[in-house]
Amino acid sequence: MPFASRHCAAFQIVAAMKLVSWNVNGVRAALRKGMMDYLESGAADVFCLQETKAHPGDVQHVAWPKGYQAFWNSAAKKGYSGTAILTRVKPLAVAPDIGLAVHDQEGRVLTAEFPDFHLVNVYQPNSQRGLTRLAYRTGEWDGAFLAFLKKLGKKGKPVLFCGDLNVAHQDIDLANPKTNRRNAGFTDEERTNFTTLLDAGFIDTFRHFEPGPGHYTWWSQMMNCRARNIGWRVDYFVADEKLKPALKKAWISPEVLGSDHCPVGLEIR
């Protein structure tokens, strides 16, 4: 799969790391909508981007904020899917995909190894309207991705993954659960598979800190849903239970515009 990095200036050394994940719904569109201001705000040491819809050459003219290096995993199909990591903390290694050709054509996974953990940036498949891709998502992808996480964890470091997971786990994670049952992202199959993943030894970090309702990360662009906060929480940071003592803070940033998703963050010691 297409994979590229861009060298920048000296990396930052930090005792704690601020991590941000954001489905930008097209990195070129997001850049036109003020994304660079957010990147330059110092909100994160590492930005994990999903649905970039771009290849590195499409943004080669962009001067990323000083000190960041950009890594890309782009879909074979132009203008579709894709992930990227911008980091000012030097990774030991960065690798694309999960090692299975059937899943590795859409640029959905990009993993950075740091001294104390593996960080996996993922854009999980959407089951699509009419659930046309539900069988692939729940019958093939979910199991393969969990197996990938387990295999990565056996390398001796805990695993932290983030991204647009395209599932609202519990009723509390969307504004209208009753009317959305059997819709993509809120089927029993998707939710059960996410429960299975958490039961394998992972923590939904936002819920670790915030048990209350009304916190969403995606809003339909119709019916003024964002202003009315009629949304879904589908973007996550999920941590190996071994990292629990290191979790310092998790947050959602609905005030940040530029996409139909907003950034989510995690601070880790």
Residues serving a catalytic function are 123, 164
CA distances (Å), origin 22, targets 143, 162, 196, 200: 24, 9, 24, 25
For residues 107 and 1, the answer to whether their CB atoms sit within 8 Å is yes
For residues 144 and 153, the answer to whether their CB atoms sit within 8 Å is no
Paired with 85 in beta bridges are 48, 71
Burial bucket for residue 113 (CB in 10 Å: 0-12, 13-18, 19+): middle
Paired with 4 in beta bridges are 72
CA distances (Å), origin 266, targets 147, 205, 239: 24, 8, 10
